[in-house]
Amino acid sequence: MRLPRRPRGPRGRKALAALISTAVAAPVLLSAAPADARTADGPARQHQKAERLARQLERDASAKGAYRHLKALQRIADANGGNRAAGTAGHEASAAYVHRLLKQAGYRVSYQWFDVWQAKTLTEKLSVVSPDARDLQVKAAEFSPSTPKSGLRAALALARVDKDSGCAADDYQGTSFTGRIALVKRGGCTFAEKQKAAAAAGAVGTIIYNNVAGGVAKPSFGSPADGKVPTAGISQADGEALAAAAAKGEVRVALDIQQQHIKRRTPNVIAETRGGDPRHVVALGSHLDSVPEGPGINDNGSGSAGLLEVALKLADRTRRSGQQPTNKVRFAWWSGEELGLLGSEHYVAQLSGAEREKIALYLNFDMIASPNPAQLVYDGDDSDHKGSGPGPKGSAEIEKLINGYLDRKGTPHEGTDFDGRSDYGPFIATGIPAGGTFTGAEGIKSPEQAAKFGGKAGAPYDPNYHAKGDNLSNLDLKAFDTNIDVIAHAVGIYAHDLSSLGGGARG
Catalytically annotated residues? 337
* 187 touches 212 (CB < 8 A): no
List of E strands, 131-234: 134-136, 139-140, 152-158, 181-185, 205-209, 231-234
CB contact burial 224-263 (16+ within 10 A = b; e otherwise)? bebbbbbbbbbbbebbbbbbebbeeeebbbbbbbbbebee
Burial of 386 (0-12, 13-18, 19+ CB in 10 A): exposed
Q: Cβ distance 228 to 149 under 8 Å?
A: no
| 3-class SS shares of the chain: helix, strand, coil, % to 5 | 40, 25, 40
Contact 391, 375 (CB under 8 A): no
CA distance 107 to 330: 9
Q: How many residues comprise the chain?
A: 507
Neighbours of 118 (CB within 10 A): 18
- Check if the beta carbon of residue 491 is closer than 8 Å to that of residue 271: no
At 149, is the secondary structure helix, strand, or coil? coil
Q: How far is CA 117 from the centre of its chain?
A: 18
Cα–Cα distances (Å) from 379 to 187, 360, 410, in that order, read 18, 18, 19
What's the rounded Cα separation, in Å, for the pair 439 and 434?
17
